[in-house]
Amino acid sequence: MIVVLKQNPEKMRVERLIRHFEDMGLKINYSEGANTTILGLMGDTSSIDEHDVLAYDVVERVQRVTEPFKAVNRKFHPDDSIIEVAGRKIGAGYFNVMAGPCSVESEAQIVEVAESVKKAGASFLRGGAFKPRTSPYSFQGLEAEGLRLLLEAKRQTGLPIVTEIMSEKHLDLFADVDIIQLGARNMQNFMLLKELGHSDKPILLKRGLSATMDEFLMAAEYIFAGGNHNVILCERGIRTFETMIRNNLDITAIPLVKKLSHLPIIIDPSHAAGRRDMVQPLSRAAIAAGADGLIIEAHNNPRCALCDGAQSLDLPMFDDIMADIRRRAEFEGRELIS
Ligand code: PEP
Ligand code: MN
């Protein structure tokens, strides 16, 4: 249930109303926007009589929220959320490009890629240290050593880093990581979602391979429920009957998320199709549909990449595509962050 307050409500009266709800065992999500202040009530609101609430003179109106996701619901927070990471703003008209290899392979590789994507205009360096691979015989990532190399690339270039976590047991290793990625395969790893909810790190939550929008937003709700409100959503392609491409990019997810939620959403055009020749057209579509950014795989030598080489751009290609992204983001009125 949401309670919309009248303009410029008297503070003491609002506090009294909040206490009233807290005494009923409810949690309150307080949101002060540009035009409205909203109390989002979390918990069992079935016994609340709307007329009793309307009797408080600070209350403008009361609305039941039928969707299962509450704190991430736009009804709870009408303005776009902005996630601030390492001095960079994500969401609400700011456009960020995160780029780097699928996996960290060596210091020379990650530093070369970091320097190059930074020069081209990326605002974050991506790179996997813990890799969720379909086969146990495939390269599993450099793990803790990979994180160390990412931090070294960050130290040398100043680019903040985004990298995937696969187990809550590793959280301590991620202390200096700027954005923790929760990968598609772990979108419904509820223990991990709960742990990340208790962390204060920004989380890049990737949509599961066959997750519905409700499931996707409920995964974000888990992180919010633990107290962490720094969530960035990422649509990275979903499974369909099509076999010619790795996944199908669900462009509809962008306007749908914008309608349902206040959270930023970025697009991963690399995993979406699994082919480097699709990265540019899918990036263009994402910008036009209102995405808040992109996460793109780029490698200094894609043919020899230990993971996802077929979808990785080489560095000159990334440079070219970045110039196109800049033009199109500006055309759409987005501010490109670098
Ligand atoms: C990745 O970003 O390298 C990755 C494994 O992504 P996803 O979880 O979307 O497959
Ligand atoms: Mn990958």
pLDDT grade for 33, boundaries at 50, 70 and 90: confident
- pLDDT tens by residue, 150-173: 999 999 999 999 999 999 999 999
Do residues 1 and 64 touch, judged by C-beta distance below 8 A? yes
Do residues 133 and 184 touch, judged by C-beta distance below 8 A? no
Confirm or reject: Cβ of 262 under 6 Å from ligand 1. no
Distance 82 CA to ligand 2 centre (A): 26
- Ligand 1 atom with least separation from CA of 268: 9
Do residues 164 and 170 touch, judged by C-beta distance below 8 A? no
Distance 204 CA to ligand 1 centre (A): 11
Rounded distance, CA 208 to CA 291, Å?
18
User: What pLDDT score was predicted for residue 83?
Assistant: 98
User: What pLDDT score was predicted for residue 184?
Assistant: 98
Residue identifier of the C-alpha nearest atom 4 of ligand 1: 183
Mean pLDDT of 257-281: 98
- Ligand 1 atom with least separation from CA of 236: 9
Distance 286 CA to ligand 1 centre (A): 18
Distance 26 CA to ligand 1 centre (A): 37
Within 10 Å of residue 210's Cβ, how many Cβ atoms? 12
User: What pLDDT score was predicted for residue 266?
Assistant: 98
Confirm or reject: Cβ of 102 under 6 Å from ligand 1. yes
Question: Is the predicted pLDDT of residue 35 greater than 90, yes or no?
Answer: no
User: What pLDDT score was predicted for residue 174?
Assistant: 98
Distance 326 CA to ligand 2 centre (A): 23
Closest by CA position to 152, among listed 201, 115, 99: 115
Ligand nearest to the CA of 187: 1
Q: Is the pTM of this model over 0.85?
A: yes
In the chain, % of residues over pLDDT 90: 98
Mutate to test the pocket of ligand 1, among 105, 185, 245, 265 (most ligand atoms within 8 A of CB): 185
- pLDDT tens by residue, 45-102: 999 999 999 999 999 999 999 999 999 999 999 999 999 999 999 999 999 999 999 9
Mean pLDDT of 310-316: 98
Q: What angle separates helix 279-289 from helix 253-260, to the nearest 10 degrees?
A: 30
Question: Is the predicted pLDDT of residue 34 greater than 90, yes or no?
Answer: no
Instruction: Return the biggest CA–CA distance within the chain.
Output: 68
Confirm or reject: Cβ of 264 under 6 Å from ligand 1. no
Closest by CA position to 79, among listed 28, 30, 34: 34
